[in-house]
Amino acid sequence: MFCIIPVIGYSQIYDVLFIGNSYTSYNNLPNMVQKVASSFGDSLNYDQSLIGGATLNAHSSNAQTLSKISQQNWDFVIIQAQSQEPSFPPSQVANDVYPYAQILIDSIQSNSTCTEPIFFMTWGRKYGDQQNCQFYPPICTYAGMQQRLRESYLDMAFSHQATCAPVGMAWHESILQDSLLDLYNSDGSHPSIYGSYLAACTFYSTMYKKSCLGSTYIPNGIDSATAISLQQIASSVVIDSLSVWNIFNADFSSTTFGDSVSFLNLSSNYDSVIWDFGDGTNQSTLENPTHVYSASGTYNVTLTALTNSNCLMDTASSTAIITAPTIIEDIENISPTIIKIVDLLGRETNDKFNVPLIYIYDDGTVKKKIIFK
């Protein structure tokens, strides 16, 4: 039996650099994120390189951007592309966007391997990209443009073992729930105060891996009921799907067979793992280990995930309750007929010496045994 132990909240302090353009500078988004964090007792110190209309190509050779990347060891560097460029046809994005994302990532990692890059998934324009619609019909609508942005930003995040902040998908969810709440400025492209606040909440949950529901920071012009709704949307989009957005996170599931437990690593965006089975035995660095407990009891199992040159660490814990000690019998004295033998992972196998196996008999009994040689 396993019970997941919830992580108790604690104060976190992050240094963050925002790289982007007007989508980030509108309504002073970095300052909004800082205020959301502060409302929970967390701290966010930030700097920014925000150039109107800038593409990743422009940022990759911009002296200010490159200087700010190298000015200190950042916890996170947030990368926002020009609003249209990641939504173009895949071949065009591969030629005109990805190479410059690579340059920025290389600059970030060259400065500090401990820094986690975050790709800022933006939102589709309210009526699609009418400027380029005739050349690429999939982006003629908001939904089509949003889908392409989602694909490109996730591609960049996974290709570079980076995080994706799913702001665009939080917008998508908000529009589904209440299409009358206008997240857009009058130009149908830039964010209104609602859109920026939703983005800020999404960034908070992405970086701190905490729900933003209950933040006491609400910008002027937003009523409390709407603020709570936007907080809920941001939290659920991020926290419910950490692995989808490649957010660094430790997680696992398990299956118990008597005194043996098989563990399945569900962590995301990690480099290596360490398992502590809670019984004083040696730790394991296997991806998906199976552990046999020598005695009944309650054990605290901890998975530690490491990434970014082991600078970042996250843990997940469960309580293992073992009630069935190992049963060792001479199978030649068993009268029922064996109809199947499986290993501890449920895979069908044959008799093996000195290995615990599961024997299934024709009378319906199931026993785990070891044949010693």
Q: Where are the alpha helices (DSSP H) in the chain?
A: 22-25, 29-39, 56-60, 63-70, 90-96, 98-111, 142-159, 167-177, 193-208, 224-239
At residue 328, does pLDDT exceed 60? no
- Here the contacts of 3-11 (C-beta below 8 Å, separation 24 or greater) are 3/318, 3/319, 4/316, 4/317, 4/318, 5/317, 5/318, 5/319, 9/40, 9/210, 11/41, 11/42, 11/43
Closest listed residue to residue 272, CA positions, set 229, 242, 312 = 312
Fold of 252-322: Immunoglobulin-like (2.60.40)
Residue type, 198: L
Q: By the 8 A CB rule, do 163 and 248 touch?
A: yes
Q: Is 165 left (phi over 0), alpha (psi -120 to 50) or beta?
A: beta
- The structural domains of the chain, with segments of one domain joined by +, span 9-239, 252-322, 331-369
Confidence of residue 372 (pLDDT cuts 50, 70, 90): low
Q: How far is CA 345 from CA 239, 261, 262, 264, in A?
A: 30, 9, 7, 10
- Give pLDDT, residue 367: 76
User: What is the pairing mode between strands 13-20 and 76-79?
Assistant: parallel
Residue type, 62: N
First to last CA, the chain: 32
User: What mean pLDDT comes out for the span 8-32?
Assistant: 92
DSSP 8: P
316 Cβ contact partners less than 8 Å away, ≥ 6 residues apart: 4, 250, 251, 252, 267, 302, 303, 305
DSSP 292: E
Question: How many residues make up the chain in this entry?
Answer: 373
pLDDT in tens, 308-323: 999 999 999 999 888 8
**7-16, 89-98, 267-276, range with the lowest pLDDT:** 7-16
Q: What is the CATH number of domain 9-239?
A: 3.40.50.1110
pLDDT in tens, 136-162: 999 999 999 999 999 999 999 999 999
Helix-helix angle 193-208:167-177, to 10 degrees: 130
Q: Where are the alpha helices (DSSP H) in 209-261?
A: 224-239
In degrees and rounded to multiples of 5, residue 120 shows phi and psi of -85, 95
What proportion of the chain, given as a percentage, has pLDDT over 70? 93
At residue 183, does pLDDT exceed 80? yes
Task: Give the DSSP per-residue string, 302-352.
Answer: EEEEEETTTTEEEEEEEEEEE--------GGG--SPEEEEE-TTS-B----
- Give pLDDT, residue 7: 39
Confidence of residue 326 (pLDDT cuts 50, 70, 90): very low
* Strands across the sheet containing 260-265: 252-257, 260-265, 290-292
Between CA 69 and CA 269, with CA 102 as vertex, the angle to 5 degrees is 85
Task: Give the DSSP per-residue string, 124-150.
Answer: --BTB-TTTTTT-GGGGSHHHHHHHHH
User: What is the pairing mode between strands 13-20 and 43-50?
Assistant: parallel
E strand or H helix at 97: none
Mean of all residue pLDDT scores within the chain: 92
pLDDT in tens, 195-246: 999 999 999 999 999 999 999 999 999 999 999 999 999 999 999 999 999 9
In degrees and rounded to multiples of 5, residue 29 shows phi and psi of -55, -45
Confidence of residue 348 (pLDDT cuts 50, 70, 90): confident
At residue 187, does pLDDT exceed 80? yes
Q: By the 8 A CB rule, do 318 and 301 touch?
A: yes
The encoded tokens of residue 57 equal: 């190509």
